Amino acid sequence: MSHFLEILAHNNMAPNAQPHTDNSMYSDAMRTLSKHREQLLETLNEEEKALFEKYRDAQEKVKRLATVNNWIHGYKLGLLITAEAFVTG
């Protein structure tokens, strides 16, 4: 079952994908993140930039894996809640 849920979580039609408006808190945070990233990169030499990009890539991978695991856990929890509702009536 987890294999199917992982495939679903990685799909382009992922049920956890949500659009964000330009004035949302998410968009504001992304703009701030981008601005600070650009400012930081301007201060680093090439070797430091490469190290920072490796760090950022590893951090992004951890985030993706956590998102998939959280989605699977939440889906299973929802199934358990649904099952309990039918069993206890």
Task: Map out the domains of the chain as residue ranges.
Answer: 2-11+19-88
Distance separating alpha carbons of residues 23 and 20, to the nearest angstrom: 8
Is pTM beyond 0.85 here?
no
CA 50 remoteness from chain centre: 23
Answer whether residue 57 shows pLDDT above 90: yes
Query: What's the whole-number mean pLDDT along residues 19-29?
Result: 80
Token output for 73: 């856990």
- Residue 31: the pLDDT is 93
- Residue 22 binned pLDDT confidence (cut-offs 50, 70, 90): confident
Within 8 A by CB and 6+ apart from 2, the residues are: 72
